[in-house]
Structure 1
Amino acid sequence: MPLVADTDLPAFERLRKQGQEILAPGRAQRQDIRELHIGLLNMMPDAALQATERQFLRLVGSSNRIAQFYVHPFTFAEIPRAADAQAHIDKYYSRFDDLKEQGLDALILSGANPAQSDITTEPFWPPLAEVVNWAKDNVCSVMCSCLATHAIVQLLWGFERYALPHKRWGVYSHRVTDQCHPLTANIDSRFDAPHSHVHEVNAQQFRDAGLIVLAEGAESGLHLGASPDGLRFVFFQGHPEYEAVSLLKEYKREVMRFIAGVRADYPPYPQNYFFDDARDVLDAFEKEMAACSGNFANLRPFPEPELAKTIDITWSDTGKAMVNNWLGLVYQVANKDRAKVFMDGVDPADPLGLVAGKSHVDKKPI
């Protein structure tokens, strides 16, 4: 499914240069193909704002080609922004009030970097609650990423995330726990996925609340789940949208925080991510840093370009397949009229027909 570049958002041009198919509006309007309009609530801080756009746009644009995707990024005024990030938002982002009026077929909620353990005290909590309470009645399906998953299960199902002894950080193996669900159709029974969080919810909490667990890992815990109806809310605790270097950039930020004296301990490696040549490069850099005895003025730059060449990506195909399945299901049950949510005859409480045991959707991707 090609993305439609209906604005001058820089992410479109960057993705085009990386081989992604991007349609100009004029070409899109000449094609007799159905549109799907997807909101992207981007709650990430300034440093990750545009990278998050690209990551989710890539996932959406890698899906099948039976529809044209219009992605509408938006965010909250309550999240503090530097001048350049705010200028980007002012130029390219939609207003939530306008999206409510126009309607959306689907909605993606990004993660965020909270400052507080209690996420209900974060400045984004009230506007997020407003978006979710509107979406649960007016959008076919909402896909939640990491912290958004934690927030929505607390808001709608009443159970809370908890702190981990150490940050869950790295690439982990997972198993599909329900291969008959259409969201996991044609997914390998075992697959990798990145995680990066210091709080989590677990699979047992999901099951106790009547939610569906679709994939989990022995080390990482819950990765993919869904609301009891199977579609209205889709939950990722991991990060299928991450690029190969996303964890590398996170690790570099932690090293820079250590050098700046913000972090007391030297950061441990993300698990199952740096191997062989990468470890050699990192060990050499750490030794050089230790030899500086706290005076880092002459320390060479962090070897990010050299490390990037050593990193393998082992999760993107599975992430794309899961999002492809999700959007294929939205395509099958969403009403073409965005003022309505579902096609005629679709039960809003059981849009896939799974609860009644009378599935009326194709389990294979469209």
Structure 2
Amino acid sequence: MPITVVKDLPAIARLADENIFVMDTVRAESQDIRPLQILIVNLMPTKEITETQILRALSNTPLQLDITLLHMVTHKAAHTSEYHLSSFYRTFDEIKEQYFDGMIITGAPIELMSFEEVNYWQELTQIMDWSEDHVYSTLYICWGAQAGLYYHFGINKELLPSKLFGVFENEVLNTQPMLLRGMDEVFYMPHSRHTTVPIDKIKANKQLEILAASEKAGAAIVRSLDNKHIFVFGHSEYDRDTLQREYERDRGLGLDIAVPENYYPDDDPKKAPIVRWRSTGTLLFTNWLNYYVYQETPYIIEQIKKMKRQRLHRE
């Protein structure tokens, strides 16, 4: 699948080494087709790593995607250069008049803070408000999923007794939604978080459905019944070594960090991690793009607001 990004984005070269086709804007402008407009709100501190992971996850569909990267102006990025942000990212003020077929809101390592304490919370809620009329479907990841559930549906996160860290088995609870098409009845997904959203509170909301869950990790995938909000509480986009780098970083800082569960063979950090979540990530992102974005979004993208309101009225 051709993914269109700003020319010279570092992720292009990395993905090309994996035989993933990424097209820059110069070539894309010569093609007479309507690509899907996808907005990625990247909240992670290591933005270049996350860009590559998300673009890789989006790469397994024949659809052409025109990617826009967005960063928060109310937060100073400590691990990403100003050059990178100014070259490849845009701000909300720069795109707020545009429409997008899909939006992805990433996780962020700030879950121990209340949402209102986050310095860019007001900016993020402004984006989530705006998305109601300017984005057809939104995919929220990890902290982004907790933030979206809290803001749109009033369900708050809760602190876990200890960090949920590792690769956990999840069970599909409903095979009918197209989001899970082709997925195994039991699948694996990495998690790295200190908080969770109580399953009973999600079940109590008639606008939401839990599609997959784990006895250990809790809710894994949740959707709003209109498919406009998809919440994924793990990280199916992670690289093989993402949890390892986090584990080694925390150990280097002298933190009390457990070996990530079900990640290393025999739970031995001296052995190479086993990837058991790649196909899950491929299906999640591909199915979301195909069935909840491409098959539903209007060809004239400016009609998103009208279509969403008509559907809401019918329901």
TM range, smaller chain:
over 0.9
Structure 2 vs 1, CA of residues 327 and 342 (structure 1 numbering), >3 Å: closer, same or farther?
Answer: farther
Distance 2:19 2:174 in 1: 33
Q: Give the secondary structure class of the aligned counterpart of 2:100.
A: coil
Q: Which runs of 5+ in 1 are unaligned?
A: 282-306, 356-366
Shift of 1:122: 0.8
Q: What is the TM-score normalised by the length of structure 2? A: 0.93
Deviations along 1:217-261, whole A, 9 cap, x unmatched?
Answer: 1211111011132x1000001111111111011101111111xxx
CA shift for structure 1 position 102: 2.4
- Alignment equivalent of 2:131, drawn from 123, 131, 135: 135
Choose which of 140, 156, 165 in structure 2 pairs with 1:160.
Answer: 156
Given the alignment of the two structures, is residue 332 of structure 1 paired with residue 278 of structure 2, yes or no?
no
Shift of residue 31, structure 1, vs aligned partner: 4.1
Q: How does 1:10-159 map to 2 (within 5 A)?
A: 10-45=10-45, 48-62=46-60, 64-65=61-62, 67-82=63-78, 85-114=81-110, 116-159=112-155
Contact 1:138 1:340 in 2 (8 A): no
Give distance in 2, aligned partners of 1:317 and 1:31: 30
Q: CA deviation at 1:203?
A: 2.4
Q: Which of these residues, 221, 226, 240, is aligned with residue 224 of structure 1?
A: 221
On the 8 A contact 2:190/2:236 being kept in 1, the answer is yes
Distance 1:60 1:114 in 2: 25
Matched, 1:323 2:285: yes
What is the rounded CA distance, in whole Å, between the counterparts of 1:25 and 1:162 in structure 2? 43
* Identical pairs, percent: 28
Q: Distance in 1 between matches of 2:177 and 2:309?
A: 18
Does structure 2 conserve the Cα–Cα contact (< 8 Å) formed by 1:20 and 1:58? yes
Deviations 1:288-338 (A, max 9, x none): xxxxxxxxxxxxxxxxxxx5xx22211111111111111002101111222
- Residue 288 of structure 2 aligns to which amino acid in structure 1? W
Count of matched residue pairs: 313
Q: Separation in 1 of the partners of 2:309 and 2:113?
A: 39
Q: Is the 8 A contact 2:170 2:213 kept in 1?
A: yes
1:275 to 235, 243, 265: 265
SS at match of 2:289: helix
Separation in 2 of the partners of 1:121 and 1:75?
Answer: 18
Q: What is aligned with 2:252?
A: 256
Report the CA distance shift for 1:95/1:232 in structure 2 as closer, same or farther (over 3 A). same
Query: Separation in 1 of the partners of 2:213 and 2:111?
Result: 27
Task: Tell me how far apart the structure 1 counterparts of residues 158 and 185 of structure 2 sit (CA, whole Å).
Answer: 28
Which is worse superposed, 311-320 or 110-119? 110-119
Secondary structure of the equivalent of 1:175? strand
| Residue of structure 2 equivalent to 1:2 | 2
**Structure 1 position 82, deviation (Å):** 3.4
Rounded to whole Å, the distance in 1 between the matches of 2:158 and 2:49 is 27
Per-residue deviation, 1:345: 9.9
Contact 1:6–1:70 (CA under 8 A) maintained in structure 2: no
Q: 1:223 and 1:115, CA in 2 relative to 1: closer, same or farther beyond 3 A?
A: closer
How do 1:151-230 and structure 2 match up within 5 A? Answer: 151-210=147-206, 211-229=208-226
Q: CA deviation at 1:138?
A: 1.8
Larger strand fraction of residues: 2
Q: CA deviation at 1:275?
A: 1.7
Q: Displacement of 1:347 after TM fit?
A: 4.5
Q: CA deviation at 1:29?
A: 3.9
- The TM-score normalised by the length of structure 1 is 0.80
CA contact (8 A) 1:334 1:342 kept: no
Partners of 2:7 and 2:24 within 8 A in 1 = no
